[in-house]
Structure 1
Amino acid sequence: MIHSMTAFARAEQAGSFGTLSWEIRSVNHRYLEPHLRLPESFRELEGGVRDALRKGLSRGKIECTLRLSEAGSGPALQVDRERAAQLIAAAESIAELSARPAPLNPLEILNWPGVLVSQGADPQALNEAALQAFDQALQELRDSREREGRELARLIGDRLDAILEEVAALRTLLPELLENQRRRLLERCAELQVELDPARLEQEMVLLAQKSDVAEELDRLVTHVAEVRRVLATGGASGRRLDFLMQELNREANTLGSKAFDTRSTQVAVNLKVLIEQMREQVQNIE
């Protein structure tokens, strides 16, 4: 099963500490590019979260946001006096080197990391709850990407069917188109009152048939369609392979257009390019 790269997931974990909530947003990207927004007290979770993303996803720009809504009035704040004393001593030693030292600001000291600490919930319990909520959000994201992937596969399959219909229609038309070209050539000669040698006429028609022979391009289109179906059925991280196949399909459609010698064959080439472009746009969202 293929997966889309576009999805959104949210999960919450409630406890005596309050409520932990994760939001994960995923959009298409060439590689896996995670962006984490974590409160400072949860920074040690970053490594585990990145590992889980690498194991669970292959591509996409992923934005993960963790929020903590604390219960009640929140944890009590305390000052780490030892760390504050060390900070003040360091500041005073630097001040001795200055002719006009600025006075120490207590608020700036409190803002220094580690000076003001909270006596709240057990950090280990909080981290475990946060990881549990993240696993739930990640699974929800994967399920959402899988559901959208199924829909993308269906849309692409419909266009593959339409491509095969266009190919079959052109195969049926080719004998008629060549005969019409032969008739127009004879009518043009008659208008110009030019008498062509029958052997020369047949030679010209053979050359025309060779220049307008698109059997090889039609066969390759059918082959590429079969390969796209195989990749869709295989699943996994197949977006790059599908993108390559879209380029190959487009190459064959361009060749058909360059060989077209009738408005109907030109229209078939145009229809193919439209269908391929529609698929290409969908493929950009596949993991």
Structure 2
Amino acid sequence: MIYSMTGYGRCEIEENQRKVTVEMSAINHRYLDINMRMPKLLAHFEEDIRKIIKKKVARGKLDLNIYCYSMATEDIDIIVNENICKGYIEGFSKIAETFNIENDMKLSHLMQVNDLITIQKKSGDNDEVMATLTKALETALDELLVMRLREGEALKADILQKTEGLNKLIEAISSRSYLVVDEYKRKLEARIASLLENVSVDPGRIAAEVVLFADKCAVDEELTRLKSHIVQLVSILEEDGAVGRKLDFLMQEINREANTIGSKANDYTITKYVVSLKTEVEKIREQVQNIE
């Protein structure tokens, strides 16, 4: 199966008085680059999160957002600043005594004092939190992979269709290459005849020149390698896992062979075929850049 590197996944799970939301989006990247944004209280889970992602994703720039809202009592610490509380009580009592007024201080008065009570969030039960987080993360990952697979299959179909065009161009170049030498021989004989009307020319010299030309512009080896590369391209598209780098390298080799044919052919028709060939190769290469 072929996977694209672009996709999106989201999951929200609420259990044990906690709500965990995971959102992730991925785009093309040469390697796996994971960018996380999450509450500090979950920071100690980062390495575990990376391990889960790496089991299912090999390449791509992945942006991960994790939100966690908890009402679980074990996730909250209520801290009373006893020194402030004691100071206010003593202050009220001193005022009442000094000015001979009734001390009607109540708890509600103390609750209005800044910094008297501080509520701090804790990571809570690590096992429970991680279990909920793992469920949300894996579900979001599965959704991401479904989208990646759907786009990957579309890329595969498009590339296979374009390889048919490559094969047709390769066959056209191959058929034309056999005619180039004969055409060169005819043009050479006609030119010599027009320049040296009454002078006989050794056929062996003409044959030697033709052989030299044929050797110089021969593209049989390049065509054979091109055909082999196309077969390999189709084969790789049937493999499972991350194949994007293999395909990218193979497209570089195909482009190199096309360039060599263009520089050796010495024929206008073949040059036109090579331009079309390189255009199709570049289109496939652009698609390959999206494959994991």
Do they superpose with TM above 0.5? yes
TM-score range, shorter chain: 0.7 to 0.9
Structure 2: give runs of 5+ residues left out of the alignment. 85-112
* Partner in structure 2 of residue 38 of structure 1: 38
- The answer on whether the counterparts of 2:177 and 2:265 sit within 8 Å (CA) in structure 1 is no
Contact map agreement 1:17 1:120 (CA 8 A) in 2: no
Does residue 29 of structure 1 match 2:29? yes
Residues 6, 290 of structure 2: 8 Å contact kept: yes
3-state SS of the aligned residue for 1:66? Answer: strand
Please give the secondary structure, in 2, of the residue aligned with 1:234.
Answer: coil
1:133-185 Cα deviation digits (max 9, x unpaired): 11100111112111211111112111211111111112222233322222222
Q: Which residue of 2 aligns with 1:132?
A: 135
Q: Distance in 2 between matches of 1:123 and 1:130?
A: 10
Q: How many residues matched? A: 260
What residue number does 1:197 align with?
202
Q: Tell whether the 8 Å contact from 2:75 to 2:124 is kept in structure 1 after alignment.
A: no
| The one of 201, 225, 231 aligned to 1:226 | 231
Going from structure 1 to structure 2, the CA distance change for 1:197 and 1:82 (only over 3 Å counts) comes to farther
Task: Sort the Cα spacing of 1:187 and 1:40 in 2 relative to 1 into closer, same or farther, 3 A.
Answer: same
The amino acid of 2:26's aligned partner reads: S
Please report how far the alpha carbon of residue 233 of structure 1 lies from its aligned counterpart in structure 2 after TM superposition: 0.9
| Higher radius of gyration, 1 or 2 | 2
* Structure 1 residue matching 2:237: 3-state secondary structure: helix
Are 1:269 and 2:274 an aligned pair?
Answer: yes
- The residue type equivalent to 1:6 in the other structure is T
Does the aligned pair in 2 maintain the 1:239–1:284 contact within 8 Å? yes
Alignment match, 1:52: 52
C-alpha separation between the residues in 2 aligned to 1:231 and 1:267? 29
Q: What is the alpha-carbon distance in structure 2 between the residues aligned to residue 237 and residue 160 of structure 1?
A: 20
Matched, 1:3 2:6: no
Q: 1:274 to 1:231 in 2, by over 3 A?
A: same
TM-score, with structure 2 as normaliser: 0.78
On the 8 A contact 2:20/2:66 being kept in 1, the answer is: yes
Displacement of 1:69 in angstroms is 5.7
Q: Which moved more, 1:269-278 or 1:16-25?
A: 16-25
Q: Structure 1, unaligned stretches of length 5 or more? A: 86-105
Q: Does 1:209 align with 2:208?
A: no
What's the counterpart of residue 96 of structure 1? none
AA matched with 1:12: E
Q: TM-score scaled by structure 1?
A: 0.80
**Contact in 2 for aligned 1:21/1:68 (Cα 8 Å):** yes
Within 5 Å, give how 1:163-202 maps onto structure 2.
163-193=166-196, 195=199, 196-202=201-207
CA distance in 2, matches of 1:245, 1:238: 11
**Mapped partners of 1:145, 1:255: distance in 2:** 36
User: Against the structure 1 CA distance between its residues 77 and 167, is the aligned structure 2 distance closer, same or farther, given a 3 Å change threshold?
Assistant: closer
Per mean C-alpha deviation after superposition, the further-off stretch among 38-47 and 251-260 is: 38-47
Q: What do the CA deviations read for 1:24-56 (whole angstroms, capped 9, x no partner)?
A: 111122221111111123223322211101111
State how far apart, in whole Å, the 2-side matches of 1:203 and 1:119 are: 89
- Whether the aligned pair in 2 keeps the contact of 1:77 and 1:118 (CA below 8 Å) is yes
